Chains A and B, each alone.
Chain A
Amino acid sequence: MQSDTSALALILTADPTLLAIVRLSLIVSLSAVAVAALIGLPLGALIALTRFRGREGVVVLLNALMGLPPVVVGLAVYLLLSRSGPLGPLGLLFTPAAMIAAQTILVTPIIAALARQTIEDLWTEYHDELTAMNVGPLHRIATLIWDGRFSLIVALLAGFGRAAAEVGAIIIVGGNIDGFTRTMTTAIALETSKGDLPLAIGLGAVLIAIVIVVNAFAWMLRRAGERLAR
């Protein structure tokens, strides 16, 4: 009970430590979702629109990659960025950039797989019209992403949910360094192990609130868009 009231006090007084952790968490997760969207949306559209040998295997693999274990991704990125790794000279290990890279790898398959399904359904509907209009391949992809944008928001939300809740990958490649790479999830894990429950609970409450607010905003955006465009 005392932990609960202390946590509430941290939130209400806008505790600087808590705010810094929240800020970094949002920067890392939103950046990862943005980069993953730039890769995943066109990739999903490309797979939806093209037919090639082994396509079904690619679709199954992409769907399977949605369940990538974060610690395995963290380990892989760690090996790439460690001093003796191929990308070691970049000096990115234990930086927010490494955390964004790890989360991008986790989120990209989610966005690509969900986008593929959405765009494939829309393509079934649009195929004849766009073919009759002699629309080229790149223009088709752009059209399908644009016209499916309100459904694709769900894919982005799923990606954001994965990134915001993730701890295994970023704790490996970020190192959970106080004031530099400490995010809400890594901080919750650390503070809980230390027994500092007020900060852990406060961060947990903020994390849940952020996820709810982002989803509510996306839902309103989708409803407004549907009213205008459908």
Chain B
Amino acid sequence: MMRAPPSDLPIRFGDVTVSAGAVTVLDRVSLAIQPGAPTVLIGPNGAGKTTLLRLAMGLIPPSRGHVTWDGVAGVPPIKRAIVFQRPVMLRRSVAGNIRYALAAADIPRERHDARIAELLALVGLPDLASRPARRLSGGEQQRLALARALARDPTVLFLDEPTASLDPASTKAVEDIVRAIAARGIKVVMATHDLGEARRLAGDIVFLHRGRVVESGDAQAFFRSPQTGEAKTFIAGELLL
């Protein structure tokens, strides 16, 4: 099912700097996230991937520069959703977690049950609706977090290392869901430091190092012929200091 063009896109970062005390986490980043295939942020730990996602979601303000959603600054996260690296399950059942997100998004109550069933089917958890969410395995919690994020019917979905610390089977399950989400026309913006995952999922790549965007553009072109020494080192799997 294809949807209308995402209303929060493009997301533009105009010369954005984010500082935490004396530390510069993002340094003069200028970037545009366009509609289309998934955009994957890659880079070593501490490169600024999570901070860039939080900025794009609107959870933190830039220290300098500006962020706009479809040309407008300060748009509340109504049509955007995020799955954190370690999603927190609310103290209620699997279905209760999704129901909470539906209520928070002002979805009419009479539509909740059907939507919950649809989302649990999408993430492969249809039989766990009544189980306490905190008793799920790590992979199941990650899938529930995806369903919960989708409950608000977002046009852009941010994923912060959604398969970090998952086993291969759980990783495949999450990646399949990400593909299904992207196929529905939802823009996926995902951070990972797993190059294999980036190759499998990315349409576009944003390569970050030490808070700066070193390279960005088409994923195939990036992996085929990286333009910078840092990107070549990173793709080669060597330590990038």
Known pairs A128-B59, A230-B135; A133 contacts B88 (CB<8 A)? no
How many contacts between A and B, using CB within 8 angstroms?
Answer: 44
Please name all residues of chain B whose beta carbon is closer than 8 Å to the beta carbon of A134 when the two chains form the complex: 76-78, 104-105
Contact B104 A139 (CB under 8 A): yes
The 8 Å CB contact of A126, one of B82, B88, B134, is B88
Is there a chain A Cβ closer than 8 Å to B92's Cβ? yes
Bound Cα distance A168, B81 (Å): 55
Is there a chain A Cβ closer than 8 Å to B84's Cβ? yes
Count of chain A residues with Cβ under 8 Å from any Cβ of B? Answer: 15
The 8 Å CB contact of A133, one of B93, B104, B135, is B104
Count of chain B residues with Cβ under 8 Å from any Cβ of A? Answer: 22
Is there a chain A Cβ closer than 8 Å to B187's Cβ? no
Determine the residue in chain A with the shortest Cβ distance to B57: A132
Please name all residues of chain B whose beta carbon is closer than 8 Å to the beta carbon of A228 when the two chains form the complex: 132
Q: Measured between C-beta atoms, what is the minimum distance from A127 to chain B in Å?
A: 9
Determine the residue in chain A with the shortest Cβ distance to B130: A228
Bound Cα distance A76, B215 (Å): 71
Is there a chain B Cβ closer than 8 Å to A147's Cβ? yes
Q: Is the interface of B mostly helix, strand, loop or mixed?
A: loop
Bound Cα distance A186, B115 (Å): 58
Bound Cα distance A137, B100 (Å): 15
B52-74, CB < 8 A from A = 57, 59
Bound Cα distance A189, B82 (Å): 61
Contact B132 A135 (CB under 8 A): no
Bound Cα distance A229, B91 (Å): 5
Q: Measured between C-beta atoms, what is the minimum distance from A150 to chain B in Å?
A: 8
Contact A135 B104 (CB under 8 A): yes
Contact with B along A4-19 (1 / 0, CB 8 A): 0000000000000000
Q: Measured between C-beta atoms, what is the minimum distance from B210 to chain A in Å?
A: 24
Contact B57 A125 (CB under 8 A): no
Taking Cβ atoms with an 8 Å cutoff, the residues of B that contact A are 57, 59, 76-78, 81-82, 84, 87-88, 90-93, 100-101, 104-105, 132, 134-135, 152
Q: What would 6 more interface pairs be, CB under 8 Å, given A132-B77, A134-B104?
A: A125-B88, A132-B82, A133-B100, A147-B90, A229-B91, A230-B135
